[in-house]
Amino acid sequence: MTRWRASLPLLATAALVALLAPGRALPSVPEETIPTLAPMLERVMPGVVNISTRSRVRMPQNPLFSDPFFRRFFNVPDMPQEQERQNLGSGVVVDAAGGHILTNNHVIAGADEVTVTLRDGRTLNARIVGADAEADVAVIQVEADNLSAVPLANSDALRVGDYVVAIGNPFGLGQTVTSGIVSALGRSGLGIEGYEDFIQTDASINPGNSGGALVNLKGELVGINTAIVGPSGGNVGIGFAIPTNMARSIMGQLIEFGEVRRGKLGVLIQELTPELADMFGIPPGSGVVVSQVVEGGPAAQAGVLAGDVITRINGQPVPSVTALRNAIGLQRVGTEVQVLVLRDGKEQAFKMVVSGEEARVKGAAPADVPALAGATLGPIPNDHPLRGEVEGVAVLQVMADSNAAAAGLRQGDIITAVNRQPVVSVQDVERAAKQGDRGLLIHLRRGNAALFIVIR
């Protein structure tokens, strides 16, 4: 038995030699048994286009170069006032009849001319329908017959491990196909875009792939290739795509309005930290905390209160501030949404109509806090450099001759704690102030510095 097993490799080798002998043909294998993506790609690739743009950028010049005497004295040659720049990217035809093509905002941003090259070699001039810089989505349009559109999939059905294929124009080489899997879903907080809910994939994505298609094995569009993470700007197996459902929502508004009109609930929110989750008696990541409600906003009209924990929007969980921002910011103004909140351990459901008005909260002077007389406090403004970096209450105004000004409080300061109690609202400041009998010990952030001041 041992000798027979040992002879198997020799027999196999002899058989292979016999097959490869001159005059002997290799056995045929039915084509349908060979795994290949070719049939799917033959249908999809005509719907993926190459995009090139031209823009003219005014070159900064020293004012002396505009002085004729200076130019003549130093024999300064004429210098071009503008420089032409070119950019390459990709796009996906999503509406063959209307000629609408999805791509990234950064592919066409600032472009004076946009040219689309189709798979069949046709070159077309395109017009920019609209762009959304915050989500990095843009729609352009061409006039042409016999366009091929890529069908849109429900990107919410994607799972980690699903096979995907990236199609685009990397490095200007022309249409290129790479394959991989979905490595992760719901990637956010990367600082790449304002609205982030990325599909992460290890399908090779390189410069020039931006705006191209990420498709499933059915040939349906699941994402728009957008960004890469790598030390040299090249592919290292970490690429990101905007989910089709997000792009579809933005595209509809860009085609209808030429811009995105983002929805607002009229609340200021913060992350449910482990400490806050423990206080509320719920697991971390179960929702986001409402720190303040805008007077007259949709949430206020519905009955939402500061301290409520928003857990779901339209039945979908909101485990982070980013998730809630995406869920509401991508809703059309006037859309009714159902918001589930947790209040005192009990769930409550509210219906409200998304508003288009920016949440604006007026500042207030803390009541019954004489030490802070003359100071106006409120939420951290959207344009404050520490917005999103720290939590606290902003000093919006300080009267020059006030007690607060004399103690060193300045406009733009962010109060993070009063009498060693963290504060995120004016009401928090008022409550914490009552716990001290020797004045106020205020911890604040001023620029990159943190300091304590005492106000009596």
Question: Which whole number is the average pLDDT over 263-279?
Answer: 81
**Residue 245, token pair as written in the block:** 């459902």
Q: What is the mean pLDDT of residues 319-334?
A: 83
Active-site residue 291, yes or no?
A: no
pLDDT at 180: 94
d(CA 326, CA 353): 16
Q: What is the pLDDT of residues 172-219, one digit of tens each?
A: 788 899 999 999 998 877 767 667 889 999 998 888 889 999 999 999
Provide the pLDDT for residue 20.
46
Gap between the Cα atoms of 292 and 48, Å rounded? 46
What's the pLDDT at 138? 94
Residue 456 has pLDDT above 50, yes or no: yes
Q: 382 vs 302, which has greater pLDDT?
A: 302
Q: For 3-56, how does the pLDDT look when each residue is reduced to its tens digit (9 = 90+)?
A: 434 444 444 444 444 444 555 555 555 666 788 999 999 999 999 999 999 987
CA 434 to chain centre: 42
- pLDDT band, very low/low/confident/very high, at 61 (cuts 50, 70, 90): low
Are 410 and 421 a contacting pair, CB within 8 Å? no
pLDDT digits (tens, 9 = 90+) for 386-396: 887 888 999 88
> What does R_g of the chain's alpha carbons equal in angstroms?
30
For residues 112-137, average pLDDT:
92
Confidence of residue 397 (pLDDT cuts 50, 70, 90): confident
What does the pLDDT look like over 332-376, one tens digit per residue? 888 889 999 998 888 899 999 888 755 444 555 565 677 787 788
Q: Which two tokens stand for residue 71?
A: 């130019």
Cα 38 to Cα 46: distance, rounded to the nearest angstrom: 13
Report the range out of 95-109, 230-244, 265-279, 414-428 with the highest average pLDDT.
95-109
| pLDDT(1) > 70 | no
Looking at 47-99, which runs of residues are DSSP E strands?
48-58, 82-95
- pLDDT exceeds 60 at position 128: yes
pLDDT of residue 429: 86
Q: Where are the alpha helices (DSSP H) in 171-273?
A: 244-257
Q: State residue 379's pLDDT score.
A: 85
Of 159, 212, 182, the residue nearest 47 (C-alpha): 212
Q: Which of 106, 155, 308, 425 is catalytic?
A: 106
What pLDDT, on a 0 to 100 scale, did the predictor assign at position 22? 53
User: Tokens representing 455?
Assistant: 């106000």
Active site annotation includes 286:
no
Mean pLDDT score across all residues of the chain: 82
pLDDT exceeds cutoff 50 at 234? yes
Check: CB of residue 91 under 8 Å from CB of residue 211. Answer: yes
Active site annotation includes 136: yes
Which residue would you say has higher pLDDT here, 157 or 279? 157
Percent of residues, the chain, with pLDDT higher than 70: 81
DSSP 110-172: T-SEEEEE-TTS-EEEEEEEEEETTTTEEEEE---SS--PPPBP-GGG--TT-EEEEEE-GGG
Q: Is the pLDDT of residue 67 over 70?
A: no
Q: How confident is the model at residue 381 (pLDDT cuts 50, 70, 90)?
A: confident
Q: Is 199 exposed, middle or buried (0-12, 13-18, 19+ CB in 10 A)?
A: buried
Distance CA 210, CA 195 (A): 17
Residue 340 is which amino acid? L
Annotated active-site residue in 90, 132, 136, 155: 136
CB half-sphere exposure, 25, CA atoms < 13 A = 3
Mean pLDDT of 154-167: 95
pLDDT for res 260? 84
CA dihedral 105, 106, 109, 111 (to 10 degrees): -110
Torsion, Cα 131 134 135 136, to 10 degrees, reads 50
Element (H, E) at 346: strand 346-353
What is the Cα–Cα distance from 396 to 196, expressed in whole angstroms? 30
* 135-160: pLDDT as tens digits: 899 999 999 999 999 999 999 999 99
Confidence check: pLDDT of 72 > 70: no
Rounded to an integer, the average pLDDT of 260-273 is: 82
Identify the helix (H) or strand (E) that includes residue 276: helix 274-280
Q: Which two tokens stand for residue 239?
A: 């690429």
Residues 293-319, mean pLDDT to the nearest whole number: 87
User: Are the C-beta atoms of 243 and 154 separated by less than 8 Å?
Assistant: no
End-to-end CA distance of the chain: 98
Percent over 90 (pLDDT), the chain: 33
Instruction: Tell me which of 261 and 163 has the higher pLDDT.
Output: 163
- pLDDT on residue 80: 58
| pLDDT at residue 94 in the model | 95
Domains and CATH numbers, the chain: 44-141 (2.40.10.10), 155-257 (2.40.10.10), 267-353 (2.30.42.10), 370-455 (2.30.42.10)
- Average pLDDT on 91-109 reads 94
210, 291, 355, 425: the catalytic one is 210
Characterize 44-62 residue by residue with b for buried, 16 or more Cβ atoms within 10 angstroms of its Cβ, and e for exposed. bbbbbbbbbbebeeeeeee
User: Confidence band (pLDDT; 50, 70, 90) for 406?
Assistant: confident
Note the pLDDT of residue 242.
94
Calculate mean pLDDT across residues 277-282.
80
